[in-house]
Structure 1
Amino acid sequence: MPIMQARVRAAIQSTWKGSSGIRWRDALAYIESDKIGLKYLRMGEVIGEDIFPFSALADISIKIPDEVKSDPELPYFGLKFYLPSGEKTLFLTIGKNMLIYDEKTFKMFVHKIFEVLINGAPVKLLLARMRGGALNMEAKWQDGVLKIVVVRSIRRARKERNIIVLAEGRPVSLFADMEDLDIEEIEMGDRKVEAWKIKHFFENESVVSYLLVEDKKLRLYILRYLLTYRKDYVELLMKAAEEFPQIKAEFQEELERELKELGGLDEMEQQVLMALYSGMDPLTLHEMFGISEKELEDIYDRLMDKGLLKLVMIRKVVDLTREGRKLVNKMMKYGMGMM
């Protein structure tokens, strides 16, 4: 019995020799515990079926090229599989006929895929290892499982769907109020492991916990879920995403898109942003770069027009805006504008 079904439009892109292009087809998509299936329809009759086992799933929620989309206004979802016949990318969307297709059901179907992949997956948690800036010697490693539920974000004062850890029956929300995520080697019993070091809000204070996710695919699914449903987490997830080239490539593409939308940043503008980010005096940067005060003020004006700087005081005392800091974080990550 399927866990969920939805009417979709589906297309498959294959690396198999002899295959070329893609063709969108009407289908009934269904999810079972170990696979996604497609029953192709014509005039309401099933005329064929494809099955994609989760054991062959290589990536999920992948970026879909615009040239593949039949209608850019519709929602899309992509999955990549490594099958014996070669690499296959499954694209899903809906049609415009709302008597047949339902956008809300489609989005629920996509979310259900993540639930099947993530819910019940085993992890290990070292909760609140650091509290108040000091080691918490009472913290011990616990066995846990992941679960996607509706949680309340204390900082944003709202409810949202997110991933929690059920550790010894106790729900722990690591990601709803996450402040930072890094990777660190830490002792677990008689061995050292690389775990996610997560700074988050817990019991009315900021703490640091460690989450060990030993399955690489599961780490990918978690990252893809957070990137899909919490787009404001991009900067926080960059370190954890380093082991996945496909996500890094998407980050790089997104940065290039942002720069293009800003009209591009020339080399001097990038250098100025980096200098301000590092805390240098905005009034003396012209001396460092060997330019006149007027040239520096012109650069500041251009960056303020792009929303990356704000005027703090007269005489062009400026500071980075939130968007400016986010952009510099990405530039540093990809070696752009390095001084």
Structure 2
Amino acid sequence: MSNSEKKIEDTQGKYMRAVKGGHDINDASWQQCRVILTNQRIALVADGKLTIPLEDIDEMGERYDVNQAASTESNYSTLYVGDDIILLATADHETFRTNFYRAILDNAVIYVQHPAVKGGVVQNAEWQRGRLKVSEEAVRMVLEDGQKFAIDRDDIGELGIDEKVVADEERAVIEVEHSMDGASVETHLSGQEHHISVLKQLLEEGAERNRANLDLEPTERRVIMALYSGVSPFGISEFVGIDVEKVEEIYDRLIELDVVEVVRERKEVALTAQGRKVAGEAMGER
């Protein structure tokens, strides 16, 4: 291992070569192995040693159930390597996937426009370079102007891809919606094709968790759009034109659907007899 190569994970697992040269291997079987992940390659050590440079991996997908042996395995990752597909199962599936993303993306420099959109309004943010850091919870970025922010992997709404001129080149641009300080923002990300391809895959996993086919009433959608636009939760009644009790009912339903979350409980109180006595005594002392 060279001085520039760093080990990220060393664990036990098993692998299956499901496709070779573009053809399914229907009688493929699992082979126990040691899995070594570095910032340059994945090494699968069994009777022999299979080494896969990270730059040769086109995609880490979900499932490719080539046969029953594959379909009965609860969790595995699918490595697309040219015309070959290798299935890889490790002791901790989610940790390995995060470490795979770390291996490729940690300290990568990309172009960032943040926030490109805030509360539905286009901002005048300039493109600047940023450095990535991946964890199980978030993708963190430090920009060249010193700004720091994170995209929570469980807080991704919409995700899209566009083509734009960035740094004098036509590039793929990831447009990811997330929240910042309670407001909806959209951040745009671009850079080298390999980095953007893997980053898109990571962010898509988060977006997929939050996709739901919700059957919402028009008033509920108006409330959501008002919150998205930055209207205070306490100003929704007047803004949308419905009474406070109806707003509270909508909030309760949206909380159940995991569309909104409680940030702070508002206490509505009335004085008791003891309280009225204290207040009366206080007034008498003036």
Report the TM-score, using the length of structure 2 for normalisation: 0.61
Do 2:116 and 2:122's aligned partners in 1 also have CA atoms closer than 8 Å?
yes
Deviation at 1:7, TM superposition (A): 1.1
User: Displacement, 1:122?
Assistant: 2.2
- Pairing partner for 2:9 from 4, 16, 37: 4
Deviation digits for residues 65-114 of structure 1, max 9, x if unmatched? Answer: 173535725321211112xxxx22111225xxxxxxxx34x542332112
1:88 alignment partner in structure 2 = 84
Letter aligned with residue 144 of structure 1: G
- For the 8 Å contact 2:166–2:190, the answer to whether it is kept is no
Aligned to 2:198: 221
- Where 1:75 maps in the other structure, the secondary structure is coil
Which residue of 182, 186, 195 maps to 1:208? 186
Question: Structure 1 residues 278, 200: CA separation in 2 closer, same or farther (over 3 Å shift)?
Answer: same
Correspondence for 1:52: 52
What is aligned with 1:63?
Answer: 63
Cα 1:75–1:127, aligned 2, differ >3 Å: closer, same or farther? same
* Cα drift, residue 162 of structure 1: 2.1
Query: CA 1:62–1:220 in structure 2 vs 1: closer, same or farther (change >3 Å)?
Result: farther
Aligned CA-pair RMSD: 3.6
The aligned counterpart of 2:131 is: 145
Residues 227 and 233, structure 1, Cα contact 8 Å, conserved in 2: no
- Work out the CA distance in 2 between the residues paired with 1:18 and 1:135: 48
Whether the aligned pair in 2 keeps the contact of 1:5 and 1:109 (CA below 8 Å) is no
Q: Aligned pairs, how many? A: 214
Cα drift, residue 322 of structure 1: 6.8
From 118, 138, 141, the equivalent of 1:162 is: 138
Q: Is the CA contact (8 Å cut-off) linking 2:130 and 2:141 kept in structure 1?
A: yes
Letter in 2 for 1:22: A
CA distances 1:103-128 after superposition (whole Å, capped 9, x unpaired): 34x54233211210221222211112
The offset of 1:186, in angstroms, is: 5.2
Q: 1:213 to 1:68 in 2, by over 3 A?
A: farther
Is 1:111 matched up with 2:128? no
| 2:13/2:88 contact within 8 Å kept | yes
1:38 Cα deviation (Å)?
A: 1.0
**Which structure is higher in RCO with an 8 Å CA cutoff and minimum separation 6?**
2
Task: For 1:211, give the aligned amino acid.
Answer: L
The match for 2:19 is 14
In structure 2, the partner of 1:36 is 42
8 A contact 2:35–2:44 mirrored in 1: yes
Aligned match of 1:182: 160
Match among 111, 120, 132 for residue 124 of structure 1: 111
Aligned partners of 2:168, 2:85: CA distance in 1, in Å?
42
Structure 2: stretches of 5+ with no match in the other structure: 2-6, 219-255, 259-286
Which sections of structure 1, spanning at least 5 residues, go unmatched? 41-46, 95-102, 150-159, 236-254, 256-272, 280-320, 324-339
- TM-score, normalising length: structure 1: 0.52
For 1:70 and 1:162, the matched residues in 2 are separated by 30
Query: Larger Cα Rg: Structure 1 or Structure 2?
Result: 2
Which amino acid in structure 2 is aligned with residue 203 of structure 1? Answer: D
Does the 8 Å CA contact 1:226/1:233 hold for their aligned counterparts? no
The amino acid across from 1:145 in the alignment is R
Q: CA shift at 1:277, angstroms?
A: 8.8
Paired residue type of 1:178: I
Fraction of identical pairs, as percent: 16
Question: 2:79 is matched with which residue?
Answer: 79
Deviation at 1:50, TM superposition (A): 0.9
SS in 2 for 1:173: strand
